[in-house]
Amino acid sequence: MQIHIRYMAALRDRLGDGETAHDLPADITDSEALIAHLTRSDAEAAALAAPEIRLIRNDRIVTRPSALADGDRLAFCPPFTGG
């Protein structure tokens, strides 16, 4: 399964700009397994595991854990600070 990941705001400063494609092992089927996978390969990514990190999947805000499907576009978001 391939998914496209991007990081928003403060997470982008830490983890990189732009959308990157990731080929995932078959046992990764939801957001939490994905976070564990990203965290294993990149110590910086540990920030993603924090419960306050929000997820936008294919242009919809979803709750964690969220299922994943091939071709998904995922955006990891720090807590929102608008208004």
Partner 1 sequence: MPLGIQVSVEPIAAAERLSALTGQSPHDGAVASFVGQVRADGDLVALELEHYPGVTEAALGALREQAISRWSLSQAIIHHRVGRMEIGETIVLVAASAPHRRAALEAVSFLIDRLKTEAPFWKCVHTASGRHWVEARDSDTAASQYWRDQIAQEDA
The CA-atom distances, in angstroms, between 11 and each of 1, 18, 47 are 24, 12, 8
- Nearest approach, Cβ of 25 to partner 1 (angstroms)? 28
Q: In what order do the strands lie in the sheet with 73-77?
A: 20-23, 2-7, 73-77, 54-57, 60-62
Output the smallest distance, CB 41 to partner 1, in A.
Answer: 24
By residue count, the chain amounts to 83
Nearer to partner 1, 25 or 82 (CB): 82
Binding site for partner 1 (CB under 8 A): 8-10, 13, 52, 54, 56, 59-61, 75, 77-83
Question: Tokens 């403060």 identify what position?
Answer: 10
The distance of closest approach from Cβ of residue 70 to partner 1 in the complex, given in angstroms and rounded to an integer, is: 21
- CB-wise, 8 or 24, nearer to partner 1? 8
